[in-house]
Structure 1
Amino acid sequence: MLKTRVITALVLLAVLLPILFLLPPIYIGGFFLVALLAAAWEWSRLLAPEAGRAAWLYALFCLVIILFLLGMQNASWQFALLLLAVLFWFFIAPFILAKGMNLSLQKLQPFYVVLGLILLPATWFALVFLRELGLIFLLSTMALVWVADIGAYFVGKAFGKRKLAVQISPGKSIEGAIGGLILCYVYAFACVYYLSFESTLFGAWAIRFGWIPMFLMVTVLTAFSIFGDLFESQLKRLAGVKDSSHLLPGHGGVLDRVDALIPTMPIAALLAGFI
């Protein structure tokens, strides 16, 4: 299993690194688009595993939404989509997560169908917008999610005792979440200290609003990265599967890899808009 995970990761890096550093920004947009359409296919498969053709149509519909909003050439429409996604994460997702496994996926299927058509395109637009602000701006923002995950994993392994969401994800602990948050504080501070202020979201917020608002922003982004992970775990448990798919050997599905980015990137894009 470990060998398979490593090989898959190396193949992905061999594709991604040249796109990031050698090709024009439009190519990374294309890479993100393929990834989000694969995630849309998996999202539909979770909702209706037996409807294979519907999953392809669902991914196609996500593509149509993205192309339509691009064709409109009106930033306010894209902003509205981002805002809609952010409002969901702030005001609806917490109540869904609080229900644990006391939900019926069959009854909520129409809701999840519409939800995916909002969250996934919004994530793509957020990633593209952050890339337009700079490659380092994008990568440093995305890295916060990975830092939170790494910190939560190792601190949780060493000190985790109290479960964060036992029904949804028994492996996650409150201690792990706190450890991930603290590591994110250290990471954000390092970004501000070692990189130019305008090159990262953290530096831009620190110079514009001050250190305390910047750390509050980091707290929000870290919290919602955990929300995204838990939300997808809840959806998979409701669907009765371990992984969203087997598209990435050793890693599960694309949705399994981007779940924490789905809430954090639209929020980060809106926060970047303030500066």
Structure 2
Amino acid sequence: MTRTRLIAALVMAPAAIAAILLLPTPWLMALTAVVFMAGLWEWFDLADVRDSLARSVLLAANLALMVALVWASRSSAGFSFVLLQLVSLIGVVWWLVSLLWLGRYEFASDPDSHARAIKLAAGTLSLVPAWCALAWIHGEDGDVGHRWLLAALAIVWAADSGAYFAGRRFGGKLFKGRRLAPRISPNKTFEGLLGGLVAGVAVGIGLGLFAGASVAQLPWVVLASVIAVLFSVIGDLFESLLKRHAGMKDSSQLIPGHGGVLDRLDGVLAALPAFAVAKALFGF
């Protein structure tokens, strides 16, 4: 599995990096909208929405919301990121609220209309703010925005890999077998979390310098990287919770060794709004 996972990553990573660094923001927004909508389609399975017509209507509604945000952000003076910033902030608030859900495993676990509605709302609150944050980071900072977006995403990718390998190597050895969230994701360990933090911060520092951060700004970059990694863990755990409720191991089998699109996006969905807001607050 590790070899298959690595090969798939080596195929996906260059394509993603090229898109981030080379595409203009509007084209990147369009491309990532397609990817995010693919993730939302998989989310419908986790929310127990099986009817194709209902899924298509819900997908169209979310896409229409994204288009409306872009349309409302245009003016004769140019494009304003205010709406995207506001939605990104809503995303940060949502992920903090989701901690309460993670603490109550049984909440919305029954496959009824009440639970479906809650999980569908959670899907919109997860994907749309992340897409807005992606556009905000990439588009607002001119020539260096694409580098900051690469940094934000690479922090999550590095944290995911660091957690995976640290968990396999040291899992259960440093924290006496304590698990991060045993009922939600039994394989996640505190050793893995620590490894993810180290890897994420290291990449954040390196790519922060690449994006133009000064030495004086590095402490803030480190703090933003820590925040992004911690939020990515929340996103990962939240998707794991939904998969537990749905009795699924992966959101799909689309990507060999990685599961579905949503399995690759779960941490990113929570980390992007957090990093974008932290970057704005810390002023780098």
**What TM-score does the superposition give when structure 2 sets the normalisation length?**
0.83
Question: In structure 2, do the counterparts of structure 1 residues 78 and 28 end up closer, same or farther at CA, with 3 Å as the change threshold?
Answer: closer
Partner amino acid, structure 2, of 1:140: A
Any conservation in 1 of the 2:43–2:123 contact (CA below 8 Å)? yes
Mapped pair 1:163 → 2:179:
yes
Q: Equivalents in 1 of 2:233, 2:29: separation in Å?
A: 25
Question: In structure 2, do the counterparts of structure 1 residues 150 and 14 end up closer, same or farther at CA, with 3 Å as the change threshold?
Answer: closer
Q: Equivalents in 1 of 2:14, 2:171: separation in Å?
A: 35
Q: Which runs of 5+ in 1 are unaligned?
A: none
Partner-residue secondary structure (3-state), 2:105? coil
Counterpart in 1 of 2:52?
Answer: 52
Mapped pair 1:97 → 2:102:
yes
Q: Deviations over 1:60-82 (max 9, x none)?
A: 11110000111112643333322
Q: Equivalents in 2 of 1:227, 1:30: separation in Å?
A: 26
Mapped pair 1:135 → 2:146:
yes
Any conservation in 1 of the 2:21–2:147 contact (CA below 8 Å)? no
Counterpart in 1 of 2:258?
Answer: 251
TM-fit CA distance, 1:158: 1.5
TM-fit CA distance, 1:13: 5.0
Any conservation in 1 of the 2:130–2:269 contact (CA below 8 Å)? yes
2:83 to 54, 77, 80: 77
Mapped pair 1:215 → 2:226:
no
Counterpart in 2 of 1:151?
Answer: 162
1:225 to 226, 229, 232: 232
Counterpart in 2 of 1:28?
Answer: 28
Q: Deviations over 1:214-271 (max 9, x none)?
A: 4333322211111110000101110111111233344221100010011110111112
Question: In structure 2, do the counterparts of structure 1 residues 266 and 4 end up closer, same or farther at CA, with 3 Å as the change threshold?
Answer: same
**What TM-score does the superposition give when structure 1 sets the normalisation length?**
0.85
Partner-residue secondary structure (3-state), 1:260? helix
Q: Equivalents in 2 of 1:16, 1:190: separation in Å?
A: 18
Q: Which runs of 5+ in 2 are unaligned?
A: 74-79, 173-177
Q: Which moved more, 1:96-105 or 1:156-165?
A: 96-105
Partner amino acid, structure 2, of 1:34: V
Q: Equivalents in 2 of 1:102, 1:67: separation in Å?
A: 32
User: RMSD between aligned alpha carbons?
Assistant: 2.5
Q: Deviations over 1:80-129 (max 9, x none)?
A: 32222111112x11111112356524342211212212221111111111
Partner-residue secondary structure (3-state), 1:167? coil
Percent of counterpart pairs with the same letter?
Answer: 33
Partner amino acid, structure 2, of 1:143: A
Question: In structure 2, do the counterparts of structure 1 residues 185 and 57 end up closer, same or farther at CA, with 3 Å as the change threshold?
Answer: same
Q: Equivalents in 1 of 2:149, 2:15: separation in Å?
A: 18
Q: Equivalents in 1 of 2:170, 2:16: separation in Å?
A: 35
Question: In structure 2, do the counterparts of structure 1 residues 79 and 149 end up closer, same or farther at CA, with 3 Å as the change threshold?
Answer: same
